[in-house]
């Protein structure tokens, strides 16, 4: 679906690894061959950059450094890194000679996938690194999504993958998308709020780090019909973002610190969608749903802008959505569920339009984006209204098709109409 898998390029793939440093530091030449694309033929395609890179171990660390030695400048916003803890780790980076970016490997094969900026974008494997199995830090796959259940938060490792319940999450009421390490233990974290109104993060092994409780904000933390987010914003440490029960204030909290009020929006705040440069001005915005479930974004100067045509639906959950660069132009769209159970791909903040996936019936709950079918492209994952199963939209900007997400035994996977899919 959506094109052949990245591993199936055959004779059209990039040059093989040409050297090994310390058994794992592999130097490759990025090839600018117009024939190495993965997805659809475009009439005119931007050639991929050519550069000499290596992946080198960092002393006394589980991380590796992606080093740019020479060659073309690489716009990191156009590069997805497959097989590491954060596929978007290069977003916002400009790779030139001398640049080093730390990566945490999750797979034995690390691929750099570059997407051109044409109207019909094509993707190219720029580089591929094979690591010793002992160098891999165990974690979840790139296509893993999460949903709630009475037993706890469940990790669904893509279509046809395993489904496991994360330990110590049976009291979780709302979650956000998994993201880079917040707790400081070197593993990816999922933000959550539980029934006792405690905000924290948990990793795939069930290691919990509590960060704040209602007593820390002098009120109550929202636990229902909400969404949390993690990330760095406005020069602050990596934090968890959440809202209060009165929907008056938007907070952030980092390990070892007290919760801080980020904003007191005039229209309130009910859920946090995420962090990204959705208006294309070169700096990240904090996107959230107001008290009427309409999406807005906060700039670092404190200004708040309403996103046109971005009213999310609410029932047992809230369709506050996710941020994703689905067309490869470097600017993420806002993907949400509206009050009619339809999925919207909204680019209004950057001057674009809105795609309405009318053939889809999604529960009014959070949705997410991930490469769940392993084809190298991003799908939209949501909870369906018919029977509450997790579903995904393949090729959402091309010829959309809806599939049911199945586990390793071929069984359809249940989703939560409260936490949705993150």
* Sheet containing 19-21: order of strands: 19-21, 25-29, 51-57, 64-71, 100-103
pLDDT in tens, 296-326: 999 999 999 999 999 999 999 999 999 999 9
Q: Which residue has the tokens 């791909």?
A: 345
User: Is 50 exceeded by the pLDDT of residue 137?
Assistant: yes
User: Cα 261 from chain centroid?
Assistant: 24
**Residue 4: what pLDDT?**
38
What do you get for the CA distance between the two ends of the chain, in Å? Answer: 22
Average pLDDT of span 68-78:
92
Q: Kindly report the average pLDDT of the chain as a whole number.
A: 87
CA–CA distance from 197 to each of 210, 212, 223, 234 (Å)? 11, 9, 6, 26
The structural domains of the chain, with segments of one domain joined by +, span 51-135, 145-404
Mapped to the 3 state alphabet, what secondary structure does the chain carry?
CCCCCCCCCHHHCCCCCCEEECCCEEEEECCCCCCCECCCCCCCCCCCCCEEEEEEECCCCCCEEEEEEEECCEEHHHEEEECECCCCCCCCCEECCCCEEEECECCCEEEEEEECCCCCCCEEEEEEEECCHHHCCCCCCCCEEEECCCCCCEEEECCCECEEECCCCCCEEEEECCECCCCCCCCCEEEEEECCCEEEEECCCCCEEEEEEHHHCCCCECCCCCCEEEECCCCCCCEEEEEECCCCCEEEECCCCCCEEEECCCCCCCEEEEEECCCCCCCCEEEEECCCCEEEEECCCCCEEEEEEEECCECCCECCCEEECCCCCCCCEEEEECCCCCEEEECHHHCCCEEEECCCCECCCCCEEECCCCCCCCEEEEEECCCCEEEEEECCCCCCEEEECEECCCCECECECCCECC
* Neighbouring C-beta atoms of residue 48, cutoff 10 Å: 26
CA–CA distance from 329 to each of 114, 117, 346, 396 (Å)? 11, 5, 14, 15
Comparing 1-10, 73-82, 269-278, 314-323, which segment has the lowest mean pLDDT? Answer: 1-10
pLDDT in tens, 200-228: 999 988 999 999 999 999 999 999 999 99
Q: How confident is the model at residue 88 (pLDDT cuts 50, 70, 90)?
A: confident
Q: How confident is the model at residue 11 (pLDDT cuts 50, 70, 90)?
A: very low
Q: How confident is the model at residue 87 (pLDDT cuts 50, 70, 90)?
A: confident
Distance CA 345, CA 279 (A): 14
| Assigned CATH class of 145-404 | mainly beta
**Residue 358: what pLDDT?**
82
Distance CA 227, CA 224 (A): 8
Q: Which residues pair with 115 in a beta bridge?
A: 123
pLDDT in tens, 373-386: 988 899 999 999 98
Look at the pTM and tell me if it is higher than 0.85: no
**Residue 119: what pLDDT?**
59
pLDDT in tens, 52-64: 999 999 988 888 9
CATH code, 51-135: 2.60.40
């Amino acid at each position: 679906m959506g094109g052949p898998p990245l591993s199936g390029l055959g004779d059209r793939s990039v040059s093989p690894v040409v050297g090994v440093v310390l058994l794992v530091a592999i130097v490759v030449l990025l090839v600018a061959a117009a024939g190495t694309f993965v997805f659809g033929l475009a009439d005119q395609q931007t050639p991929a950059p050519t550069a000499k890179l290596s992946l080198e171990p960092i002393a006394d660390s589980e991380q590796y450094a992606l080093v740019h030695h020479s060659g073309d400048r690489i716009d990191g916003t156009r590069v997805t890194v497959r097989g590491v803890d954060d596929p978007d780790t290069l977003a916002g980076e400009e790779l030139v000679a001398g640049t080093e970016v730390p990566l945490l490997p999750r797979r034995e094969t690390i691929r750099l996938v570059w997407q051109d900026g044409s109207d019909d974008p094509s993707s190219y494997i720029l580089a591929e690194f094979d690591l010793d199995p002992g160098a891999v830090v165990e974690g979840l796959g790139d296509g893993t999504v999460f949903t709630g259940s009475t037993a706890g938060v469940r990790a669904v490792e893509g279509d046809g993958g395993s489904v496991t319940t994360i330990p110590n999450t049976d009291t979780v009421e709302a979650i956000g998308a998994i993201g880079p390490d917040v707790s400081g233990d070197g593993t990816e974290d999922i933000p959550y709020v539980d029934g006792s109104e405690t905000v924290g993060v948990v990793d795939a092994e069930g290691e919990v780090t509590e960060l704040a409780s209602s007593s820390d904000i002098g009120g109550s933390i929202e636990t229902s019909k909400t969404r949390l987010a993690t990330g760095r914003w406005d020069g602050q440490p990596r934090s968890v973002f959440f809202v209060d029960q009165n929907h008056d204030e938007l907070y952030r909290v980092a390990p070892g610190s007290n919760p801080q009020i980020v904003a007191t929006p005039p229209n309130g705040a009910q859920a946090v969608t995420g962090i990204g440069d959705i208006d294309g001005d070169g700096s990240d915005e904090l996107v959230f749903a107001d008290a009427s479930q309409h999406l807005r974004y906060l700039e670092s100067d404190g200004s708040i802008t309403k996103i046109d045509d971005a009213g999310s639906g609410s029932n047992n959950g809230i369709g506050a959505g996710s941020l994703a660069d689905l067309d490869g132009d470097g600017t993420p769209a806002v993907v949400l569920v509206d009050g009619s159970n339809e999925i919207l791909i909204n680019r209004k903040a950057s001057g674009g339009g809105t795609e309405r996936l009318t053939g889809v019936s999604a529960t009014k709950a959070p949705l997410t984006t991930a490469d769940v079918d392993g084809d190298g492209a991003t799908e939209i994952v949501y909870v369906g209204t018919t029977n509450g199963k997790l579903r995904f939209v393949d090729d959402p900007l091309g010829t959309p098709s809806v599939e049911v997400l199945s586990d390793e035994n071929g069984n359809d996977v249940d989703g939560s109409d409260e936490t949705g899919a993150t």
